[in-house]
């Protein structure tokens, strides 16, 4: 923990902020959040299941007043439209811009022939950090994948730029194309590292061969998952402009602070010269956590033209340059002894990366720790293909990996004629078998029990194909779900004002998870106040540096910073009281002073003695108390395994004549530490479960095998669930106290809804039909085959 | 896409009058400008969102003469004389007890958390208002079916259905 006074290094930014904002056509300042709905605070102890208050930004979003990055304008702004490559491997031999430049309103065409050179280009190489990708920013004539940005037309209106882009003629010298999975398996290699650098690439435990030899039952199957694209509903967008050597960007990013750092690094300029603002973010799911090429291209074009530039990706441009989920080919072996206990597990994953950068989808990491098993091998290999570099996509690795694992577990349970839930309980891991460490907390048994009870699991007949509803075969399936607790570094400032209100400042963003809302709740709880007394200033890099919203880490990271900064302020208030002869708490021991609801300081052993925080501050100079805390992981990670767990139950109906699969019921039970806001948290896990329906039944990016061009780069042919695809769906949380995991006591809920749900659906389809589907998505053609 | 198309044909501006949210706007637009782009870029009504620009996602849903339409599929020059309503035009406006007065469905979306990132929300609400008005909200199954022209990538479908149901049942408290 690092405590500093409030000296923001970026003073120019603060001075600039008012000016910049006033130029934005929107008159309301959306940077400051006030709670509209008053709440009363009932319970002073940290609540395990927090109040389901409405989102602080709900009204702005529901009225259309919320300004997303593509909604921001600047006088004199140019519109940029990208020109994309139409080959997957080769070289640009000529770019003819003559016709494009003739279009009225077109002012320039930026390509490798005239793009500004970047001082930090040496940083554009495969990096230790998963979010720092190799970018295509017009510094050379090479093409590494189809649909790679190669030029950008700049015009006064969007229509002119669009027309101009259609008139740029490009000629290429082409090279043979390296195909993605499952075709391109020839050239496999072992990745140097996993995205979470402390995950090992390959692991071995015990003696796999001996475990297999001693087993009575064995299974071996291969599971495959396709390439997928994030497709947040908001296309990637930014407005960039320069004032001298200072750059401001309104950018749709999941990581304001990371984006600021990365852009500065590649431009080769100090971080303080870059300001990143994300007032509202229309989803991201990982594809906006990385600073991809467009984030550099807009400010480069602004530099080239001397004007503000807005760049909004077209939907079809989001299939390549902004990441994807790697396809996987996974071989699973399981072997059990006579009591149904696992004796051997092997999980071998092949994934894919691009030709120019490395991202290894960590599909096998959960297999190492989910069940007790003495003998286990896991390996990761990847192939290189002429595609855009994969990126983390909601539950990267865990989603495809656990689909394979939990399908295999279900297959083994069927082979043993054991109830799938009973089989999982028989192999319950009391401690983390991979790290050989205790769990900071694990309430999975409770998730199984309560989930099974609410779902009616006991009504599931053991035999597949035994339930019917008219023409439909009905089936029930379940799976374990899990997500590791990730925590990054975040800094927050908390200021308690003499009027009893609290100001929180941190450069975090809210991609729809509810971050802005729950930060006010976290601060309020420390002071015994109601959230409407807390104002959050966020969404802007002028505030203290904060973590990326990815890997379910932001509440653990930024929430911990807010918790610690608020606790630091409270400590200052306690000390002020005990040193103040006029305070009723004068000379009371610090540990004896507690805060009660309404912002009341009290003596613990004698609650009649105390005073309000407001009167204490007023008497002591009428000045605010504040603290800034940089919060990061301590040594708890070395001592414990920290994970959220859950159980998901699915019911499906399958029409075998039509090949139609319907998910009629989905229920998830989750234990993820403290839940700050039951309403937004439930939406998070339900959203994850909808993603699982999508992955199980709908999503697949299809490449043309001649040139790796994506053939379904639009929302009509890249299928995601619509409302009618989601029927009964619910999720609930188990109370779980965990004081070890982090100061906020939270584990993260953004991804756990997806992880196990995919296989719960596949397992339910098995139960309905008696057939296993090991290749996602489970579409009509496969059911009919 | 034809390289030979002279820009002048499509770029020739025309003077038109649009009626949006009960206000009249006179402006010069190119025939190729979509209603969505005119709303967003010319009238600064950025509540209607662009998710695909192809009529595939519903984020741009507005009402034209009382019927839902994807604004990205309409040319602005063809909308003269029609009543256009966007998300900015459905709340009664003003305040009650210091609280902004919202359309009941806007309030219900907030209460039932029928939104996460909020990007699909204006389109969802415009479709939801029409579904309620046209009598297609008699059961959750019917609501789901009629709301299936609006993609929510965040997966807020359960909250969206609950919000529409609650307004149908007359719960307008928000
Ligand atoms: S933007 Fe109009 S339907 Fe998607
Ligand atoms: S709330 Fe994000 S797309 Fe619907």
The Cα-based distances of B98 to A35, A37, B174 in angstroms read: 13, 11, 15
Does residue A37 register a pLDDT over 50? no
Instruction: Return the C-alpha torsion angle A446, A452, A458, A461, nearest 10.
Output: -130
Which atom of ligand 2 is least distant from the CA of B116? Answer: 1
**3-class DSSP string for B63-104:** EECCEEEEHHHCEHHHHCCCEEECHHHCCCCCEECCEECCCH
Q: How confident is the model at residue A327 (pLDDT cuts 50, 70, 90)?
A: very high
Ligand 1 shell residues, CB under 6 Å: B 50-53, 55-60, 70, 72
Q: Is residue A212 part of a domain?
A: no
Residues A614, A599 contacting (CB under 8 angstroms): yes
The alpha carbon of B123 and the centre of ligand 1 are apart by a number of angstroms equal to 9
Residue percentage of chain A with pLDDT more than 90: 90
Q: Do A513 and B51 touch (CB under 8 A)?
A: no
Q: How confident is the model at residue A198 (pLDDT cuts 50, 70, 90)?
A: confident
Alpha helices in A48-103, H assignment, sequence order: 58-62, 98-102
pLDDT score for B11: 67
Of B7, B153, B158, the CB nearest to A231: B153
Tens of pLDDT, residue by residue over A494-525, are 999 999 999 999 999 999 999 999 999 999 99
Q: How confident is the model at residue A5 (pLDDT cuts 50, 70, 90)?
A: very low
Q: How confident is the model at residue A3 (pLDDT cuts 50, 70, 90)?
A: very low
Residue B152 near ligand 2, beta carbon < 6 Å:
yes
**Residues in B touching A727 (Cβ below 8 Å):** 141, 144
Sign of the Cα torsion B19, B25, B30, B34 reads negative
Does residue A766 register a pLDDT over 90? yes
Mean pLDDT score across all residues of chain A:
93
Q: Is residue A165 part of a domain?
A: yes
Q: Do A67 and B117 touch (CB under 8 A)?
A: no
Sign of the Cα torsion B67, B68, B74, B77 reads positive
Tens of pLDDT, residue by residue over A673-711, are 999 999 999 999 999 999 999 999 999 999 999 999 999
Q: How confident is the model at residue A550 (pLDDT cuts 50, 70, 90)?
A: confident
Lowest model confidence (mean pLDDT) among A17-31, A429-443, A712-726: A17-31
Q: Which of B153, B155, B160 to mutate to test the pocket of ligand 2 (most atoms within 8 A of CB)?
A: B153
Higher-scoring residue by pLDDT: A14, A624: A624
Q: How many residues does chain B have?
A: 174
DSSP A649-711: EEEEEEETTTTEEEEEEEEEEEE-B-BS-HHHHHHHHHHHHHHHHHHHHT----B-TTT--BT
Torsions phi, psi for A554 (to 5 deg): -70, -40
Residues A335, A411 contacting (CB under 8 angstroms): no
Q: Do B116 and A283 touch (CB under 8 A)?
A: yes
pLDDT score for A249: 98
- Do A170 and A289 reside in the same domain of the chain? yes
Does residue A443 register a pLDDT over 70? yes
- Do A135 and A241 reside in the same domain of the chain? yes
Q: Which residue is closest to B141 within chain A, CA to CA?
A: A724
Residues A558, A492 contacting (CB under 8 angstroms): yes
pLDDT score for A390: 97
Q: Please compute Rg for chain A using Cα positions.
A: 27
Q: Is residue A201 part of a domain?
A: no
Higher-scoring residue by pLDDT: A47, A273: A273
Q: Which residue of B28, B85, B119, B150 is the best one to mutate when testing the A interface, meaning the one whose CB has the most A CBs within 10 A? A: B119
Say which ligand is closest to the CA of B59: 1
pLDDT score for A9: 29
Work out the average pLDDT over A384-407.
97
Q: Do B46 and A67 touch (CB under 8 A)?
A: yes
Q: How confident is the model at residue A25 (pLDDT cuts 50, 70, 90)?
A: very low
Residues A348, A405 contacting (CB under 8 angstroms): no
Tens of pLDDT, residue by residue over B83-95, are 999 999 999 888 8
Residue B58: HSE in the Cβ half-sphere, 13 Å Cα cutoff? 21
Sign of the Cα torsion A33, A37, A40, A42 reads negative
Taking the Cβ of residue B43 and every Cβ of chain A, the question of whether any pair is shorter than 8 Å is answered with no
Does residue B5 register a pLDDT over 90? no
- Do A498 and A443 reside in the same domain of the chain? no
Does residue A44 register a pLDDT over 50? no
- Do A778 and A668 reside in the same domain of the chain? yes
Residue percentage of chain A with pLDDT more than 70: 94
Taking the Cβ of residue B115 and every Cβ of chain A, the question of whether any pair is shorter than 8 Å is answered with yes
Residue B154 near ligand 2, beta carbon < 6 Å:
yes
Does residue A15 register a pLDDT over 80? no
Q: Is residue A535 part of a domain?
A: yes
pLDDT score for A341: 98
Q: Is residue A340 part of a domain?
A: no
SS3 state at A3: strand
Q: Is residue A503 part of a domain?
A: yes
- Do A605 and A475 reside in the same domain of the chain? no
Single out the residue in A271, A293, A318 at which a domain terminates.
A318
Q: Which residue of A23, A28, A63 is the best one to mutate when testing the B interface, meaning the one whose CB has the most B CBs within 10 A? A: A63
Torsions phi, psi for B34 (to 5 deg): -80, 160
Domain count within chain A: 3
Q: Of A471, A474, A487, which is closest to residue A551 (Cα–Cα)?
A: A487
The Cα-based distances of A10 to A274, A277, A487, A543 in angstroms read: 10, 14, 26, 9
- Do A92 and A40 reside in the same domain of the chain? no
Does residue B111 register a pLDDT over 50? yes
Contacts of A527 (CB under 8 A, 6+ apart): A496, A502, A566, A569, A570, A595, A599, A613
Q: Which residue is closest to A59 within chain B, CA to CA?
A: B110
Torsions phi, psi for B129 (to 5 deg): -60, -40
Q: Do A716 and B54 touch (CB under 8 A)?
A: yes
Active site residue A234: no
Q: Is residue A224 part of a domain?
A: no
Residue A599 near ligand 2, beta carbon < 6 Å:
no
Higher-scoring residue by pLDDT: B2, A403: A403
pLDDT score for A338: 87
pLDDT score for A67: 97
Q: Is residue A347 part of a domain?
A: no
pLDDT score for A196: 87
- Give the global pTM: 0.94
- Do A595 and A535 reside in the same domain of the chain? yes
Tens of pLDDT, residue by residue over A110-164, are 999 999 999 999 999 887 787 889 999 999 999 999 999 999 999 999 999 999 9
> From CA A733, how far away is CA A675, in angstroms rounded?
8
**Residues in B touching A55 (Cβ below 8 Å):** 110, 113, 115
Q: Please compute Rg for chain B using Cα positions.
A: 17
> From CA A326, how far away is CA A390, in angstroms rounded?
6
- Do A44 and A84 reside in the same domain of the chain? no
Q: Of A194, A150, A190, A202, which is closest to residue A384 (Cα–Cα)?
A: A190
Q: Do B40 and A71 touch (CB under 8 A)?
A: yes
> From CA A538, how far away is CA B41, in angstroms rounded?
27
Rounded to a whole number of angstroms, the distance from the CA of B81 to the nearest CA of chain A is: 24
Single out the residue in A602, A632, A662 at which a domain terminates.
A632
Mean pLDDT score across all residues of chain B:
93
The Cα-based distances of A140 to A82, A114, A581 in angstroms read: 16, 11, 71
pLDDT score for A131: 80
Full residue range of the structural domain in which residue A674 is found: 395-486+638-784
> From CA A725, how far away is CA A662, in angstroms rounded?
7
The complex scores an ipTM of 0.94
Q: How confident is the model at residue B96 (pLDDT cuts 50, 70, 90)?
A: confident
Nearest CA to ligand 2 atom 3: B152
Q: Which residue is closest to A283 within chain B, CA to CA?
A: B117
Does residue A36 register a pLDDT over 70? no
Torsions phi, psi for A431 (to 5 deg): -130, 165
- Do A415 and A519 reside in the same domain of the chain? no
- The full set of domains in chain B, from first to last, is 13-89 (3.10.20.30), 100-169 (1.10.150.120)
Does residue A377 register a pLDDT over 60? yes
**Residues in B touching A512 (Cβ below 8 Å):** 115-119, 154
The Cα-based distances of A165 to A569, A622, A624 in angstroms read: 55, 60, 55
Single out the residue in A318, A340, A371 at which a domain terminates.
A318
Residue B140 near ligand 2, beta carbon < 6 Å:
no
pLDDT score for A656: 95
Residue A687 near ligand 2, beta carbon < 6 Å:
no
pLDDT score for A151: 98
Does residue A330 register a pLDDT over 80? yes
pLDDT score for B171: 66
Residues A282, A126 contacting (CB under 8 angstroms): no
SS3 state at A550: coil
CATH number for A516: 3.30.365.10
> From CA A600, how far away is CA A529, in angstroms rounded?
9
- Do A524 and A542 reside in the same domain of the chain? yes
pLDDT score for A29: 35
Tens of pLDDT, residue by residue over A231-284, are 999 999 999 999 999 999 999 999 999 999 999 999 999 999 999 999 999 999
- Do A709 and A772 reside in the same domain of the chain? yes
Structure tokens at A342: 């696992």
Q: Which residue is closest to A53 within chain B, CA to CA?
A: B111
Work out the average pLDDT over B62-85.
98
Q: How confident is the model at residue B98 (pLDDT cuts 50, 70, 90)?
A: confident
- Do A644 and A734 reside in the same domain of the chain? yes
Angle formed at CA A609 by CA A606 and CA A613, multiple of 5 degrees? 125
Work out the average pLDDT over A292-298.
98
Q: Do A102 and B7 touch (CB under 8 A)?
A: yes
> From CA A733, how far away is CA A451, in angstroms rounded?
10
């Amino acid at each position: 923990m690092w405590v500093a006074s409030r000296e923001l290094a970026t003073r120019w930014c603060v001075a600039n902020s008012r000016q910049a904002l006033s130029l934005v056509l929107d008159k309301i300042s959306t940077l400051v959040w006030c709670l509209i709905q008053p709440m009363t605070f009932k319970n002073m102890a940290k609540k395990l299941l927090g109040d389901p208050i409405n989102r602080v930004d709900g009204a702005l979003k529901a009225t259309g007043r919320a300004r997303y990055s593509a909604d921001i304008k600047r006088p004199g702004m140019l519109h940029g439209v990208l020109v994309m490559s139409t080959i997957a491997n080769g070289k640009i031999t000529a770019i003819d811009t003559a016709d494009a430049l003739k279009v009225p309103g077109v002012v320039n065409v930026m390509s490798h022939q005239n793009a500004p050179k970047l001082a930090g280009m040496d940083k554009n190489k495969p990096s230790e950090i998963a979010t720092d990708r190799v970018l295509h920013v017009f510094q050379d004539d090479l093409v590494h994948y189809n649909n790679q940005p190669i030029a950008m037309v700049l015009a006064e209106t969007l229509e002119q730029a669009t027309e101009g882009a259609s008139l740029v003629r490009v000629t290429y010298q082409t090279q043979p194309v390296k195909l993605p999975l499952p075709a391109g398996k020839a050239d496999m290699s072992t990745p140097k590292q996993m995205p979470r650098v402390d995950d090992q690439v390959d692991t071995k435990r015990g003696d796999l061969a001996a475990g297999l030899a001693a087993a009575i039952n064995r299974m071996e199957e291969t599971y495959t998952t396709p390439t997928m694209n994030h497709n947040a509903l908001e296309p990637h967008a930014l407005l960039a402009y320069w004032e001298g050597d200072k750059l401001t960007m309104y950018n749709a990013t999941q990581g304001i602070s990371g984006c600021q750092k990365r852009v500065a690094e590649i431009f080769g300029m100090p971080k303080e010269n870059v300001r990143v603002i994300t007032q509202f973010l229309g989803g991201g799911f990982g594809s906006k956590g990385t600073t991809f090429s467009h984030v550099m291209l807009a400010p480069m074009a602004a530099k080239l033209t001397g004007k503000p530039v807005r760049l909004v990706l077209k939907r079809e441009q989001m299939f390549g340059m902004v990441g994807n989920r790697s396809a996987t080919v996974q071989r699973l072996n399981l072997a059990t002894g006579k009591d149904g206990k696992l004796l051997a597990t092997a999980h071998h994953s092949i994934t894919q990366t691009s030709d120019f950068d490395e991202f290894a989808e960590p599909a096998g990491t959960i297999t190492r720790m989910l069940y007790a098993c003495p003998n286990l091998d896991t390996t990761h290999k990847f192939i290189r293909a002429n595609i855009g570099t994969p990126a983390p996509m909601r539950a990267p690795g865990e989603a495809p990996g656990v689909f394979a694992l939990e399908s295999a577990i279900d297959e083994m349970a069927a082979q043993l004629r054991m109830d799938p839930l009973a089989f999982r309980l028989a192999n319950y891991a009391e401690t983390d078998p991979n790290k050989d460490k205790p769990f900071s907390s694990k309430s999975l048994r409770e998730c199984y029990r309560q989930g099974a009870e609410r779902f009616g699991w006991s009504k599931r007949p053991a035999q597949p194909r035994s339930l019917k509803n008219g023409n439909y075969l009905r089936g029930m399936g379940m799976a374990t779900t899990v997500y590791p607790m990730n925590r990054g570094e975040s800094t927050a400032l908390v200021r308690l004002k003499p009027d009893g209100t609290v100001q929180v400042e941190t450069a975090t963003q809210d991609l729809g998870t509810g971050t802005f809302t729950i930060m006010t709740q976290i601060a309020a709880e420390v002071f015994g106040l109601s959230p409407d007394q807390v104002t959050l200033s966020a969404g802007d890099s002028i505030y203290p540096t904060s973590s990326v919203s990815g890997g379910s880490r932001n509440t653990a990271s930024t929430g911990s910073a807010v918790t610690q900064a608020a606790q630091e302020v409270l400590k200052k208030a306690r000390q002020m009281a005990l040193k103040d002869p006029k305070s009723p708490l004068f000379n009371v021991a610090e540990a004896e002073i507690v805060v009660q609801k309404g912002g009341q300081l009290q003596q613990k052993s004698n609650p009649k003695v105390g005073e309000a925080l407001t009167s204490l501050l007023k008497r002591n100079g009428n000045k605010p108390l504040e603290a800034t805390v940089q919060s990061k992981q301590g040594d708890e990670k070395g001592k414990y395994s920290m994970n959220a767990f859950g159980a998901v139950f699915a019911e499906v109906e399958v029409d075998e004549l039509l090949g139609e699969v319907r998910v009629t019921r989905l229920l998830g039970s989750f234990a993820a530490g403290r839940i700050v806001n039951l309403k937004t948290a439930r939406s998070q896990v339900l959203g994850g479960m909808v993603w699982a329906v999508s992955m199980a039944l709908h999503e697949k990016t299809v490449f043309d095998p001649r040139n790796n061009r994506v053939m379904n780069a639009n929302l009509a042919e890249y299928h995601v669930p619509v409302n009618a695809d989601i029927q009964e769906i619910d999720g609930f949380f188990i109370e779980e106290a965990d004081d070890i995991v982090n100061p906020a006591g939270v584990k993260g809920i953004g991804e756990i809804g997806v992880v196990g749900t995919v296989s719960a659906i596949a397992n339910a389809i098995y139960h309905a039909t008696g057939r296993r589907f090991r290749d996602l998505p489970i579409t009509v053609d496969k059911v009919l085959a | 896409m034809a390289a030979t198309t002279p820009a002048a044909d499509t770029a020739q501006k025309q003077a038109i009058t649009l009626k949006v949210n009960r206000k009249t706007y006179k402006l010069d637009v190119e025939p190729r400008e979509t209603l969505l782009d005119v709303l967003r870029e010319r009238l600064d009504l950025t509540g209607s969102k662009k998710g695909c620009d192809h009529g595939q996602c519903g984020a741009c849903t507005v009402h034209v003469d009382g019927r839902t339409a994807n604004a990205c599929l309409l040319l602005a020059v063809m909308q003269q004389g029609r009543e256009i309503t966007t998300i900015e035009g459905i709340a009664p406006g003003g305040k009650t007890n210091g609280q902004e007065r919202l359309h009941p469905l806007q309030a219900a979306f907030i209460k039932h958390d029928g939104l996460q990132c909020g990007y699909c929300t204006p389109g969802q609400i415009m479709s939801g208002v029409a579904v309620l008005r046209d009598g297609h909200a008699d059961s959750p199954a019917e609501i789901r079916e009629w709301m299936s022209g609006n993609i929510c990538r965040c997966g807020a479908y359960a909250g969206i259905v609950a919000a529409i149901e609650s307004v149908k049942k007359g719960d307008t408290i928000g």
